[in-house]
Amino acid sequence: MMKGMGKYIIGANRQLLIPESDESGKLEKVGSSVSSTSKKNKFRQHCRRFWCIYLIANVIFLAIFLPVFFLVAIPAIAQLVVNKSDIRIVNAEVMHPTADTVRMTLETKVNLKLALGVRLDPVVFYTFVRSSGHENAYAGIEIPGQTIKGNYSLGVTDQLTPILNMTSWETFVSQVVHQKGTALSLYGKTTGYLGVLKSHIILDKYVVIPTLNKFKGFSLADSTFLLPAEDDGSNLVANITLPNPSTFSFEVGTITLDLKSGNTDLVLGSATIEDVTLRPGNNTFPLRGVIDIGGMIANLAEVLSSQGSALRTGALSLTAVTKSIVSNGTLIPYYTKALASLPLVANVSIGDVLKNSLARLGSSEAFSDPDDKRRRDPVQFDGPVGYGDAYNQVAGLKHNRHVQKIFKDEDSEQRDAMIDSLARYYASL
């Protein structure tokens, strides 16, 4: 009976539990999901409950952050872009000088290194000597408002520009004349717009430019004495070359020079170079002068003393010193001052002067007078044996009436001796 009852015993037919069929993992996942959902719900309930506090906190944060971003960060970024930008001078001209104005052309290339366009309000760029500061700017260049982007051309053309500070301007001109290079400094304040964003920008830049370097390479060529002198008294013509290695062009004016012997203060005469405009490269102009030959004879000992080293190389040493510069009838004091402090020394070949002068003299009507038998008969000018016609060409000047007018009767022996010496030198070339 007990055996028959076994199947009715609770749990009698249960088998071993299989681990893989354990539901505990599912319960944990369900518990975790319920827990996560519960946290989200609690957070939502928390936000619903305290939304007003969070709203006030966000408003306070934005009220602090946005002004700082727009008033500090954006201008700082814009200023950094300007500071890191490159500027290059493409062309610069200073024309039509007067005592207190010039007409200025300035073309620059500005690379903002920014893909977006930036609109600028009108601005005055002040040019100044960096050691003096922009407060002592010598000129102000007015730039109209425009949008710039990438590598952009910026500048003005033929703008009438008053000289704001004469001391600074004279300093700049002196640096341009005497130095190998100098800084062109620019300063300006403007407002820049990047879309709807705007910021105040300060431009404080300088560009190192090559300058005139004391006219290194200056030369005086094709020097010729004129006999007779021309109606205006000119008895010397030549070509003068003034190099300009800079990118600047300067209209200078008419330059009047004192011509001195060697490195002395003995003035031999004066010369004029008209309508000088210095453009990049070598600039050659005709020079016309008046040499006081009588004064040279009267001071011959001092002249020879000052010419010692030059004469040994067959040359004459002339020093040209600027006396005045006039443009359109107006004295230009700042150019006069800068160039007057720069003596220009040229060694002029005596042989070239004689050749040029004799060629000019031989082609002139005054020397080709058919009635002047001495001109047509070189025999009576015979010099030392072996010198021949070259000697006679120069020695014949003793009998030229225009040469005789230059010397006083009591100086005739000195004249003849000097001409004979020149004749021997010319014949030896």
My answer on whether 114 and 156 are in the same domain is yes
Q: 3-class DSSP state for residue 32?
A: helix
CA distance 145 to 122: 4
**Mean pLDDT confidence for 275-301:** 88
Q: Write out the two tokens for 89.
A: 């001078």
Range of the domain at 313: 214-358
**pLDDT tier for residue 233 given thresholds of 50, 70 and 90:** confident
* pLDDT category of residue 155 using cuts at 50, 70 and 90: confident
> What is d(CA 311, CA 347) in angstroms, rounded to the nearest whole number?
9
Q: Are residues 349 and 318 in the same domain?
A: yes
pLDDT digits (tens, 9 = 90+) for 123-136: 898 999 999 999 99
User: What is the model's pLDDT at position 344?
Assistant: 93
The tokens describing 105, both together, are 């052309």
Axis crossing angle, helix 166-178 with helix 333-340, rounded to the nearest 10 = 40
Asked if pLDDT for residue 423 goes beyond 70, the answer is no
210 preceded by cis ω (within 30°)? no
Residues 255 and 153 in one domain: no
3 within domain boundaries:
no
Q: How many Cβ atoms from other residues are within 10 Å of residue 220's Cβ?
A: 20
Last residue of a domain, one of 156, 182, 211: 211
226 and 353 housed in the same domain? yes
Last residue of a domain, one of 358, 373, 398: 358
Of residues 370 and 164, the one with the higher pLDDT is: 164
CB 287 within 8 A of CB 231: no
**Residue 254 Ramachandran class (φ > 0 left, ψ -120 to 50 alpha, else beta):** beta
Asked whether residue 54 is domain-assigned, the answer is: no
Name the pLDDT band for 103 (thresholds 50, 70, 90). very high
Judge whether 220 and 287 are in contact, CB under 8 Å.
Answer: yes
Residue 282 has pLDDT above 80, yes or no: yes
What's the pLDDT band for 311 if we cut at 50, 70, 90?
Answer: confident
Same-domain pairing of 203 and 235: no
391 neighbors 427 (Cβ within 8 angstroms): yes
**218 and 341 assigned to the same domain:** yes
229 part of a folded domain: yes
Q: Domain total for the chain?
A: 3
Q: Token digits for 410?
A: 């009591």
Domain shared by 218 and 204, yes or no: no
Domain-located, residue 34 = no
Residue 416 belongs to a domain: yes
Q: Is 209 helix (H, G, I), strand (E, B) or coil?
A: strand
Which of 192, 211, 230 lies at the terminal end of a domain, its last residue? 211
In a domain, 118, yes or no: yes
Asked if 393 and 421 sit in the same domain, the reply is: yes
pLDDT over threshold 90, residue 338? yes
Would 62 be classed as within a structural domain?
no
Say what the pLDDT of residue 373 is.
Answer: 42
Comparing 39 with 177, the larger pLDDT belongs to: 177
φ/ψ region of 270 (left if φ > 0, alpha if ψ in -120 to 50, else beta) reads beta
Residue 373's SS3 state is helix
In a domain, 36, yes or no: no
232 and 101: one domain? no
Three-state secondary structure of 84-116? HCEEEEEEEEEECCCCCEEEEEEEEEEECCCCC
Mean pLDDT across the chain, nearest whole number? 76
Q: What is the mean pLDDT of residues 126-151?
A: 88
Asked whether residue 198 falls in the same domain as residue 241, the answer is no
Kindly report the CATH number assigned to the domain that includes residue 348. 2.60.40
Better-scored residue on pLDDT, 218 or 374: 218
Residue 166 pLDDT greater than 70, yes or no: yes
Task: Indicate if 279 and 157 belong to the same structural domain.
Answer: no
Do 329 and 247 share a domain, yes or no? yes
- Given pLDDT bands bounded at 50, 70 and 90, which one contains residue 386? very low
